[in-house]
Structure formats: C-alpha cells, structure tokens
Amino acid sequence: MQNHFPFWKNLLIVIVLIIGFIFALPNLFGDDPSVQLSSSGLAPLEQTQVQTIAEQIKQAGLTPKALEFNNGQILVRFNNTADQLKAADLLRDKIGSNTTVALNLAPATPAWLQALGASPMYLGLDLRGGVHFLLEVDMDAAVKQAEERYTNDVRSALRDAKIRYRAVAKEGGVIKVKLKSPQDKEAALVLVGNDFSTLDVEPSELPDQLWLQVSETEQREVRKFALAQNMTTLRNRVNELGVAEPVIQQQGDNRIVVQLPGIQDTARAKDILGTTATLEYRLVDTEHDVQQAVDGHVPIGSRLYYEKNGAPILLDRRIIVTGDQIVDASSGLDENGSAAVFITLNGIGAKKMGKVSRDNIGRPMAVVFIEYKVKTRDVNGEKVRVKEKVEKVISVATIRGAFSKRFQTTGLDSPQEARNLALLLRAGALAAPVDIVEERTVGPSLGQDNIDQGMNSVMVGFVLVLVFMTAYYRVFGLVANLALGFNLVVIVAILSMLQATLTLPGIAGIVLTIGMAVDANVLIFERIREEIKLGNTPQSSIFSGYEKAFGTIFDSNITTLLVALVLFGFGTGPIKGFAVTLSIGILSSMFTAVLGTRMLVNWIYGNRRVEKLSI
C-alpha cells in the first residue's frame, strides 16, 4: 500500500520518541543548592567521613536534603540557599585544610533516571549565573624561567665536559660564560653547538667570554607552551570546584578566558585559578640526621622539608629536574602490581636524570610540590591579597636502576593517589604566573531572568505556530504540531545526552529550528493540496506530496546545515552555541517533519478508503 510504513519504521520512530522523553526529563527537575567537599591533597575522601559530616551539620541545626559519596567526593544537598551557605561556613571551620569546601548547584535528577544514564544539559554562564575571569599570562616570566633553566644547564654541561670556566651568570637576558682561556672558549662553542641548538651565540669582544641568548624561535615556543600548559592546568584545577562544564579559551597571544557556570563561591575560584605552582625532583640526604635539622642545625648543601604525613625529611639543595621538563605522566601498575606513575622527560631533563640516576642507585629521590597560594587577609580593616609559598614532599621512591627519559615513581598508597600524582606532574603546575585582569559575576537572579525570557520566547513562538498550523491545515496541522513537540523533545534529549552547554544564542537556534521544522511541513502539505487540485485521489496525493517535497526539504536543510558547520568551525563561544543547537535541530526536524508526520498521517488515513482530506 502507498501510505503504509513497515513495522520496523514505526518501531524505530516510537523507540526514538521514548528515548527522547527519557533523556529530556532530567531538565524538568532543576538544581539543589549544594556543598561539595573534595580532597585538596593526593588521597581522596573516604566513605567513613560522610557520617562525621552529617553529625556536624545536624548539631548546627541544619537538615540536609541528601548526602552523597562518589569518586572520593562528598556532596551535601540542601532545600534552600540559606542552609547551603550556613553549612559551607560551618564545614570550612570544622574540616581540615586538606579538604576543599565549595558551593555548587547539583542537578536534582531522580535516581531512576540517573541509573539510566540520563542527565540534564548544562546551562551556560548567561543562563545559570556564575563567574567570568580574564587572566593574563606573564610571558616575560616564562622566558626568564627558560633563561634560568638554560643557565643551570650550560653550567652543568661545562662541568661534565671538564671545560674550565670562572662563572656562568645571566645578565639582562644574556647568559654570560666567563672561561679561563681562549682554548676553553673554542671547546665551549663546540659544546653549545652540539647540545644547545636553541641558544644563539652573541658576538663578544672578550676572547675568554661566550655570550648566549635564547633564540627567537625558542622564545616563541616557550610562550606558546606556557599558554597551552596554563590552559591545561586551569582546566584540571576547576574540576576541584565541581564545575560541570567550564569554558576555558585562549584570547589573543597571552590571555585566557575562564567561565565557571553555576559557581557561587567566587573567592575560592579566584584562589584556585591564581595559584602558581611548580615541581622539583631532588635527592634525599641520607648522610645527616633529620632530627638535628629539625632542631635548627641544617647541613650545608641540604634543605629541610616535610612529607604529606608531616614527617620531616632532608633533601639535597641541587635540583635534578623541574615540572616544566616533564612531557607526559600517566598512572598504572608496576611489575609487582603496586600503584605507580610513569614519567616522560624532555631531552635536557632526560640527560640530567640519566646522569643522576646512574650515580645514585639505591638512594631515595623525592618529588617536591611547590605552590604559591593567594590568600585574602584583613589588614587594618581592608581585604589584602598576599602570596604564600607552600612546599611539601608528595612522593619518595628509591632509585633501583639507571633511567633517563622514561621512569616510574613507586611507593604510592593507592591507584587513586597515583592518578592524582600523575595529574599534578602532567598539569599541576602553571608554566608561568597568571594575573586576573578582569572579573565579572552573573548573579543567579539574572541567570534565572535570562532562562525565563528565553523559555518564554520559545513558548510564545511555539504556541503561535501551533495555533496557525491548526487553523490553516486542520487535521494535518495537528499532526505537524505533534511532530513539532516531538522535535523539541528530541533536541533537548540530544543536548542532554551530549552534555552540551545551552546558552542564549543556543535558545535562539532552537527557536529558529522550530520555524524551519514547520516550513518543511508547509512544503509537504501545500504539495498535497496541489495533488488534490490536479484530481488525484487522497491516498495518492499524500504519497506524492511527501515524495515530491522531500527533495526540496533535503536541499534547503543541507545548505543550512553546511552554514551551521561553518559557524561552528570558525566561530567562538556564543556563535558555536548557536551553531550546535541549529545543527541538531536541522537533523531532528528532518526526522520528525518527514518520518514523524508521515507515520501519524499513515495511522490516521492509511489502510482505509478516504474520500476527503482535512487539509
């Protein structure tokens, strides 16, 4: 029969409709004001801490909606913002310094939907509220750090090659090497040419001096690396804040835009984003007494540090490699099945590590995490931001054999600790300091106003289309309206399944899609009318209307889809949001406006004799 779908097509459409409703449902339940607790150290929080936190909240006279433990984090849900803020202040006072307390808005999706993997789509900064930061990377500091590193490397290389020198020092961006004779200068030139191709030799009038400068190409690479590394580091750091979909984008050559939708604790966000950190590998001093160092008698050539459990430890003053020389780090298991972190160094770091490891087999080596935290303090009644240096030993392992570029760090307590350490090594350190040059906060009320206005625009457009289609096309208009509702559900479901971020431009894309979806139905219905005027039977008119209109619908939608893809490829944040919803809407409307309405029309008019169509 002409107007009859095979069973599999009907089943496909019904399955898509059911799945669409399931995955669109979580967006109706809203958010719960919540307090999120996570470990700021290497070890995650434990399940046993949930009961302790519940008792502390109960003693304060607060009643949480729910307490949840997941992936080493504790989430406390509340019924209102007032209780959320009181609980956050309480827990900051009660919980130790190794636990981060952050405010958040957690989705209130029912457990049965969560079990099916259904989650609400993310809302952008303009809808949900939150904070917008513009950070500037100190590129000069990045270049200076590279110059310092090269100064140390050149000094070590001269010593290893037994080339005599008086001093190696950096002056105004130039590494000045003072050698003992012109012959030593010739040997040093050969060494630099072989091992330091990224350094340019500057002309020097003194026969016993060699002036070196980081090449322009290397400086560009240093700046590029600093920006990319800082973006990676910031992206991992905001995970501590519980932000579901942060926006971290490059702006220009030295700036980074960070948007944190849903964040209420802006002070905590500023502290985390502005923190500068680095990593160092040092040998452990096993020759001197640690207790004497604790008492104030630190040996020359050593420094006193403390491990993560508070135990004192003596380390060699000489640094083997630093965090910016680590190319990659991943967690896994060693040959004994114990947790380990696998490290990959760059060329210079590998050479230094190879020499140290060969000469110190059996000696322990430590990883030192150095962090510059920004603290806000009250000074004479005014809020003043000061930097505080924090140094701690996060790992100690014994050198079992010679290694250079790739090696593993063992002695970790758990696979989770190994994963966290790998994260710190890979992206825990900012390659260059950052400064927050702009901060904008979008309050939740403004975000809710934007949501209401956006939803109103969708509903008004939707209702107007429904009224027009019903009045003008009657039964076929009702069919188009059902397909239009189906289309809206499918769009929301796909956005939720992809965990895409919905913004105001995205809502504009949805409104445009509604109009385009109706346009496809109008083309089909007008074609059916033409077939009826030509004297064809109702069943033949339906069949011809869908078949002949499909080519036009396909062409118009494909051209619009190509434009949307171009917008996504070349546009920035808001433009991409518009392009994403428009692209999804085009594909969804093709499915619902053609297949969806055809199925409904087949159910109404198929398999029976029809004298007249209500169109």
* DSSP calls for 423-450: HHHHHSS-SS-EEEEEEEEE-HHHHHHH
27: which 2 tokens? 């967006």
Query: pLDDT value at position 22?
Result: 92
- Which run of H or of E encompasses 280? strand 276-284
Give the HSE-up count for residue 100: Cα atoms under 13 Å, Cβ half-sphere: 25
Share of the chain above pLDDT 90, in %: 2
Contact (Cβ atoms closer than 8 angstroms) between residue 375 and residue 386: yes
Cβ contacts of residue 123 below 8 Å, gap of 6+? 261, 262, 447, 451, 501, 502, 503
142: which 2 tokens? 């990045």
Contact (Cβ atoms closer than 8 angstroms) between residue 191 and residue 167: no
List the beta strands (DSSP E) in 285-351: 302-306, 312-322, 326-333, 339-345
Q: Is 401 exposed, middle or buried (0-12, 13-18, 19+ CB in 10 A)?
A: exposed
Reported confidence tier of residue 97, pLDDT bands at 50, 70, 90: low
* Range in 155-164, 429-438, 577-586 the model is least confident about: 429-438
Determine the Cα–Cα distance for residues 235 and 233; give it in Å rounded to an integer: 5
Q: Over 60: is that where the pLDDT of 402 sits?
A: yes
Q: Over 70: is that where the pLDDT of 385 sits?
A: no
Q: Over 60: is that where the pLDDT of 185 sits?
A: yes
**Which DSSP string corresponds to 44-103?**
PP-THHHHHHHHHHHHTT---SEEEEETTEEEEE-SSHHHHHHHHHHHHHHS-TTEEEEE
Mean per-residue pLDDT, 578-587 = 87
Determine the Cα–Cα distance for residues 409 and 281; give it in Å rounded to an integer: 11
Determine the Cα–Cα distance for residues 598 and 19; give it in Å rounded to an integer: 20
Determine the Cα–Cα distance for residues 367 and 42; give it in Å rounded to an integer: 13
Give the HSE-up count for residue 358: Cα atoms under 13 Å, Cβ half-sphere: 8
Cβ contacts of residue 305 below 8 Å, gap of 6+? 312, 313, 314, 315, 366, 368, 391, 392, 393
Give the HSE-up count for residue 288: Cα atoms under 13 Å, Cβ half-sphere: 22
Q: Over 80: is that where the pLDDT of 557 sits?
A: yes
Mean per-residue pLDDT, 586-614 = 82
Q: Over 70: is that where the pLDDT of 274 sits?
A: no
Give the HSE-up count for residue 464: Cα atoms under 13 Å, Cβ half-sphere: 9
More confident call, 454 vs 315 = 315
Determine the Cα–Cα distance for residues 159 and 355; give it in Å rounded to an integer: 13
At the top level of CATH, the class of 7-26+444-605 is mainly alpha
Mean per-residue pLDDT, 474-499 = 87
Look up residue 51 and give its amino acid: Q
Same fold, 31-108 and 276-429: no
Q: Over 60: is that where the pLDDT of 242 sits?
A: no
Query: pLDDT value at position 125?
Result: 75
Q: What is the pLDDT of residues 420-432, one digit of tens each?
A: 666 666 655 677 7
402: which 2 tokens? 């010679």
Determine the Cα–Cα distance for residues 311 and 114; give it in Å rounded to an integer: 43
Contact (Cβ atoms closer than 8 angstroms) between residue 422 and residue 412: no
Reported confidence tier of residue 253, pLDDT bands at 50, 70, 90: confident
Contact (Cβ atoms closer than 8 angstroms) between residue 309 and residue 395: no
Contact (Cβ atoms closer than 8 angstroms) between residue 90 and residue 56: yes
Q: Over 80: is that where the pLDDT of 367 sits?
A: yes
Q: Over 80: is that where the pLDDT of 527 sits?
A: yes
Intra-chain end-to-end CA distance of the chain, in Å: 21
110: which 2 tokens? 């029912």
From 3.30.450, 3.40.50, 3.30.1360, 3.30.70, which CATH number describes the 140-219 domain?
3.30.1360
Q: Does the reported pTM lie above 0.85?
A: no
243: which 2 tokens? 């932000």
The domain segmentation of the chain, as residue ranges, is: 7-26+444-605, 31-108, 140-219, 276-429
3-state secondary structure of 179: strand
What is the CATH number assigned to the segment(s) 276-429? 3.30.1360.200
3-state secondary structure of 443: coil
Reported confidence tier of residue 196, pLDDT bands at 50, 70, 90: confident
β-pairing, 66-70 with 174-179? unpaired
DSSP structural state of residue 121: P
Q: Is 585 exposed, middle or buried (0-12, 13-18, 19+ CB in 10 A)?
A: buried
Mean per-residue pLDDT, 125-149 = 82
Share of the chain above pLDDT 70, in %: 87
* Range in 41-45, 57-61, 117-121 the model is least confident about: 41-45
- Other C-beta atoms closer than 10 Å to the C-beta of 423 total 19
Contact (Cβ atoms closer than 8 angstroms) between residue 582 and residue 503: no
Determine the Cα–Cα distance for residues 321 and 431; give it in Å rounded to an integer: 14
* Range in 39-48, 403-412, 580-589 the model is least confident about: 39-48
Query: pLDDT value at position 552?
Result: 83
β-pairing, 209-214 with 199-202? antiparallel
- Other C-beta atoms closer than 10 Å to the C-beta of 526 total 14
Task: Tell me the fold of 31-108.
Answer: Alpha-Beta Plaits (3.30.70)
Mean per-residue pLDDT, 210-226 = 87
Determine the Cα–Cα distance for residues 479 and 604; give it in Å rounded to an integer: 10
Cβ contacts of residue 205 below 8 Å, gap of 6+? none
Residue 466 φ/ψ, nearest 5 degrees:
-60, -45
Determine the Cα–Cα distance for residues 199 and 299; give it in Å rounded to an integer: 36
Cβ contacts of residue 220 below 8 Å, gap of 6+? none
β-pairing, 501-502 with 122-123? parallel
pLDDT, averaged across the chain: 80
- Which run of H or of E encompasses 311? none
* Range in 247-261, 364-378, 497-511 the model is least confident about: 364-378
